[in-house]
Amino acid sequence: MSKRGLKERDLNKLLRPIKFSHFKQLNFDLSFITSTAFAQLQGVHIKVLLYMMARVQWYKETIKVGSRKEKVWRTKNNGDIDLAIKSEIAKDLKMNNNTISNAIHKLIWVGAIRITKIGGKDKTKHHYEILLPKYVKQEKQRWRKFPQENWEVDIPKNKNSSIGRETRFKKKQNPTDKCRFNQPTYVVRLDGTD
């Protein structure tokens, strides 16, 4: 026991950063569910999106509406959602690392999320923003423009990948082409014509 009467494990719980929101349920807005962007998503993509939604922290803010005050929920870290190591997410969701990467790329492509900070080689992580109703204002919701626009250019690609650079896009030579028996044959006609 510490001085204030807290047990050591309770103190560790308080000091540990909050990883997930404490809501009992996560909801999609009907306008998103009926959109063509949502129609492009499969179960894997939706699972990863729900995982990201669970990472958003919320707080209540009191705003003045006319003569009365209302409490409104606001996001605290939307735009600064950093996904932990992909192997940890893969363990939580019981998926492969490549599946998670492809799901994140698909969510960026349809405009459901966007990258706000690109991670680098110094082991920093990408930071994401969820672009759904209740998370951002309507003008920032890219998925509403999806069939006419997509955000494939925002998907991160490793530009310095040297794997297969020498053999990339080159036609392989058939081993039988080198054989002396595959030389062109000439036909000699007996009637004297070519």
The pLDDT tens digits for 96-106 are: 888 888 898 89
pLDDT at 181: 57
CB 142 within 8 Å of CB 151: yes
pLDDT at 16: 47
pLDDT at 4: 52
pLDDT at 65: 82
Look at domain 28-155 and name its CATH class. mainly alpha
- For residue range 60-78, list pLDDT tens digits in order: 888 888 888 888 888 887 8
pLDDT at 192: 63
Domain spans in the chain, listed from the N-terminal domain onward: 28-155
pLDDT at 59: 82
Alpha helices in 82-136 (DSSP H): 86-93, 97-110
What is the length of the chain? 194
pLDDT at 95: 86
Looking at residue 72, the DSSP 8-state letter turns out to be E
CB 58 within 8 Å of CB 21: yes
pLDDT at 11: 45
Mean pLDDT per 10-residue segment, the chain (194 residues): 51 50 74 90 90 84 85 81 73 84 90 84 77 87 87 75 60 58 63 64
